[in-house]
Structure 1
Amino acid sequence: MPEPRIVIIGGGHVGLTLALRLQRMLRPGEARVTVIDTQPHMTYQPFLPEAAAGSLEPRHVVVPLREALRKCEVLTAQVSAIDHADRQLTATLGDGRVVHCGYDILVAVPGSISRALPIPGLAEQGVGFKTIGEAIFLRNHVLSRLDIAASTTDEKLRRRLLTFVFVGGGYAGIEAMAELESMSRYAIRSYPQVASRDMRWVLVEAMGRIMPEVSPPMSEYTKQRLTERGIEVKLNTTAKSFMDGHVMLSDGDVFDADTVVWTAGVRPHPMLEDSDLPRDSKGRVECTAKLQVRGIHNVFSAGDSAAVPDLTSSDPDALCSPSAQHAVRQAKVLADNILALLRGEKLGNYKHKYAGAVAGLGLFQGAAEVYGVKLKGFPAWLLHRCYHLAKMPTASHKARILGDWLLELPFRRQVVALGELHDPRAEFVKAANTRGLPKSHGRAV
């Protein structure tokens, strides 16, 4: 009898944690595991702000799937459809070939993508903050704005270059903005032409407070810390337009900005739209407390793409929030339940009371609320680092991250823009197309 095949769609936090646990706990010949993702690595998103700010080497916050999952089959492909009636999915490989993959047990954990709104100019001017590529781009982009601003004599252009807008006051937006602002304040030490007061950082949030994951007092504390650093926090405000870098906000404020970062929420991966799995009004896969897709015993889901009942809430309709905290714990229960299904044992429920949250607000600054205990400043920042270091998959990546942090103690931050990373062929193409141009007679500077 052939081995049952477990197919995991998604190599993110849930998918990698699940596969690691399965490859460790499966008996020889009990089942084979296939992981399918469009990227050959998992990105640990809580460390993206530090990667963008230069505190961490970008390669150290991603885990290569093939390196970590040596006992699993890893396919770099895009799943385009799920047909559970035939227990088959359709995927497009890197070379363009379309293949059909059968399964005995399916785990749909493709994660989420940025939830963009139809705001004029957003698609042309904005950038998200969910991938390592976006983090590296933002670091290079922000530092290059300082470079250009330091050399221009055009005051209007200078104001535009030094204006940075972040839309979304959740954890992603707060941490990304705080880390990049901290990095920029450090970087201008090397730019005598630029002062901290020349930069304008604007946080736009549609709700009446930032960081809804924590209590109102901790939210207000975080807002005060950001305001003390000169960051404008605009609550109950929405963006109306970003056309040509001209920012229009609902509070009437109008200005130009060369940097627009969109962190205003996420939505389930659109791949789920081409499946026959039951989904709720928000597009998430409907699950039971056992993480099984509702009405289907051999299909599971978890993480951002799943609507999982919150058994710790008094509200019978409450669902688990889309957070890394739930994702890693759901992955462990998911692995145990898949093993139980294979072995004919009883499946367990996922039940975890939300412990709280920790956030880094730049070097040596943070805010945390864990099981009702509030921490501020350096203790919260230290807890933020320790918690996420412990949750980072694989010992080698933990060691590399710790090494990056220790190197920060005796040495200065490296703050240099490497813009050519985004178009590495530009200089070669320019040289190849140059044919006997006359020597320049421009003025020396």
Structure 2
Amino acid sequence: MQQRLVIIGAGFAGMYAALSAARLRDSQDVSPDRLEIALMAPEPTLVVRPRLYEPGPEQLTAPLQPVLDAIGVTFVPGTANAVRPGARLIDYRSPDGAERQLGYDRLVLATGSRLFRPDIPGLAAFGFSVDSLGDAVALDRHLQGLAQRPASKARDTVVVAGGGFTGIEVATEMPARLRAVLGRDARPHVVIVQRGPAIAPDMGAAARPHIEQALRELQVETELDVGVAALDERGVVLSDGRRIDSLTVIWAAGMRAAPLTATIPAERDDLGRLIVDRALRVPGVAGVFATGDAAKVPCDEIGNHALMSCQHATRMGAFAGNNAAADLLGAPGQPYHQETYVTCLDLGEAGAIFTRGWDRKVELLGAEAKQLKHEINTVWIYPPRAERMAALASADPQRVTDL
């Protein structure tokens, strides 16, 4: 009798879950007739989300169908609306709008995350983001359209709400993007608004001075200990009552797990992630695994947990796919671990910064770090080539994203 492993989500975690499950199936000499591996997503496309702060976002996708075909994974086009673990069914909407169900024997939830948008007046109507491909395309078109607007300080000003990784990468890219649109003589005014007392709060004391120096070099201003209270078509009002006139306000302040996790009757953290064990299994929910931004799991023995990042999602996905398939095939699973942690933060024309370890030890700066960032963004995070053995070899859980 054929069994079915379904993976929901075609991001980094979902892609590597499919690759790793197929790798284990192949190593066990099991045919697709005995174990079907199915990947469900709206389209068989990887959106290269870590690059959406760059210009030309329409180009920042990679096809997955050739890779899935090469490794014998079925693609199911659709958007999952709910999971019913008791019946082992997924309720989903197909591209033609029909409501359908798909059964599973094991499920890997790899639905990722989305930007947290609080109920701030004007945010939905006037705020931009780089959270999804559609959002990034809308921002890019808006920026291109600024050249047709009358010159003004509001036109030349970009406000970025959020001083974390995404906010910094967006803000440091903006001076060059605005000059490309408005001309080399333009004087872009970029402001990061950060509720906390420090920029890049997760980067630590060693890295922060280099980031602050890059911001000064790029003339990117920071407003600390203040938030955005309201937006309108001409700018923002800050929580202390001050106003910044701007035609471009970009929201980059926090992530939450995708809503599908809420249909799983299990414990979640304050980011909406399902709390899983080291096998990426959801305790108390038979047959369900979660991975990537949908899951909270320890990645070592000293108290660190996987972050909502491509780096963690790829390796978590590989473990989740392997373990879900192992569960069906009677093979031993592998407990997830990821002791190595690095950060490579793009700083626009000021280069980049590369750190290693949870204490963020700075290893590379400037042009050297920028070269590594370019390699990561254009090679490492893309799907493997659509050749069966090479694709399967890329998904060894113990080797994925080793740096």
Q: 1:103 Cα shift?
A: 0.4
Match of 1:38 in 2: 42
Match of 1:434 in 2: none
Indicate if the aligned counterparts of 1:213 and 1:357 stay in contact, CA closer than 8 A. no
Q: Distance in 2 between matches of 1:310 and 1:107?
A: 18
Return structure 1 stretches of 4+ with deviation > 6 angstroms: none
Q: Is the partner of 1:380 in helix, strand or coil? A: helix
Match of 2:337 in 1: 351
Q: Is the partner of 1:240 in helix, strand or coil? A: strand
Q: Distance in 2 between matches of 1:239 and 1:303?
A: 29
Q: Distance in 1 between matches of 2:269 and 2:345?
A: 30
Match of 2:186 in 1: 195
Q: Which amino acid aligns with 1:327?
A: A
Q: 1:338 Cα shift?
A: 2.4
Q: Which amino acid aligns with 2:194?
A: E
Q: 1:370 Cα shift?
A: 2.1
Indicate if the aligned counterparts of 1:201 and 1:232 stay in contact, CA closer than 8 A. yes
Alignment pair present for 1:124 and 2:125: yes
Alignment pair present for 1:303 and 2:292: yes
Q: Distance in 2 between matches of 1:281 and 1:214?
A: 21
Q: Distance in 2 between matches of 1:34 and 1:220?
A: 47
RMSD, aligned CA: 2.1
Indicate if the aligned counterparts of 1:203 and 1:231 stay in contact, CA closer than 8 A. yes
Match of 1:327 in 2: 313
Indicate if the aligned counterparts of 1:139 and 1:180 stay in contact, CA closer than 8 A. no
Q: Distance in 2 between matches of 1:276 and 1:92?
A: 21
Q: Is the partner of 2:52 in helix, strand or coil? A: helix
Alignment pair present for 1:361 and 2:347: yes
Q: 1:187 Cα shift?
A: 4.3
Match of 2:400 in 1: none
Q: 1:128 Cα shift?
A: 1.9
Q: Is the partner of 2:153 in helix, strand or coil? A: helix
Q: Distance in 2 between matches of 1:245 and 1:68?
A: 46
Q: 1:392 Cα shift?
A: 1.7
Q: Distance in 1 between matches of 2:134 and 2:81?
A: 23
Indicate if the aligned counterparts of 2:218 and 2:350 stay in contact, CA closer than 8 A. no
Q: 1:87 Cα shift?
A: 0.8
Match of 1:429 in 2: none
Q: Which amino acid aligns with 2:333?
A: L
Match of 2:396 in 1: none
Q: Which amino acid aligns with 1:369?
A: T
Gaps of 5+ in 1: 151-157, 397-445
Indicate if the aligned counterparts of 1:5 and 1:32 stay in contact, CA closer than 8 A. yes
Match of 1:171 in 2: 165
Q: Which amino acid aligns with 2:365?
A: K
Q: 1:146 Cα shift?
A: 3.0
Q: Is the partner of 2:6 in helix, strand or coil? A: strand
Q: Distance in 2 between matches of 1:393 and 1:364?
A: 29
Q: Distance in 1 between matches of 2:248 and 2:156?
A: 8
1:97-176, aligned counterparts within 5 Å?
A: 97-150=98-151, 158-176=152-170
Distance 1:228 1:149, change over 3 A: farther
Q: Distance in 1 between matches of 2:133 and 2:232?
A: 26
Q: Is the partner of 1:82 in helix, strand or coil? A: strand
Indicate if the aligned counterparts of 1:227 and 1:233 stay in contact, CA closer than 8 A. no
Q: Distance in 2 between matches of 1:130 and 1:284?
A: 18
Name the larger-Rg structure: 1
Q: Distance in 1 between matches of 2:20 and 2:338?
A: 19
Indicate if the aligned counterparts of 1:166 and 1:204 stay in contact, CA closer than 8 A. yes
Q: Is the partner of 1:339 in helix, strand or coil? A: helix
Q: Which amino acid aligns with 1:222?
A: I
Q: Distance in 2 between matches of 1:354 and 1:169?
A: 24
Could you tell which deviates more after superposition, 320-329 or 219-228? 219-228
Deviation per CA, 1:266-296, whole angstroms, max 9, x where unpaired? 1111122233344334321120011011123
Q: 1:112 Cα shift?
A: 0.8
Indicate if the aligned counterparts of 1:163 and 1:200 stay in contact, CA closer than 8 A. yes
Distance 1:114 1:311, change over 3 A: same
Q: Which amino acid aligns with 1:127?
A: F
Could you tell which deviates more after superposition, 7-16 or 37-46? 37-46
Q: Is the partner of 1:336 in helix, strand or coil? A: helix
Indicate if the aligned counterparts of 2:13 and 2:316 stay in contact, CA closer than 8 A. yes
Indicate if the aligned counterparts of 1:84 and 1:277 stay in contact, CA closer than 8 A. no
Q: Distance in 2 between matches of 1:380 and 1:235?
A: 27
Q: Which amino acid aligns with 2:171?
A: M
Q: 1:214 Cα shift?
A: 2.1
**What is the aligned counterpart of 2:381 among 387, 391, 394?**
391
**How many residues end up aligned between the 2 structures?**
375
Q: Is the partner of 1:159 in helix, strand or coil? A: coil
Q: 1:129 Cα shift?
A: 0.9
Q: 1:354 Cα shift?
A: 4.4
Q: Distance in 2 between matches of 1:245 and 1:30?
A: 60
Deviation per CA, 1:391-427, whole angstroms, max 9, x where unpaired? 321348xxxxxxxxxxxxxxxxxxxxxxxxxxxxxxx
Greater RCO (CA < 8 Å, at least 6 residues apart):
2
Q: Which amino acid aligns with 2:4?
A: R
Deviation per CA, 1:294-342, whole angstroms, max 9, x where unpaired? 12352111111111123332x4xx5322111111111122232223223
Q: Distance in 1 between matches of 2:263 and 2:195?
A: 31
Q: Identity over aligned residues, as a percent?
A: 28
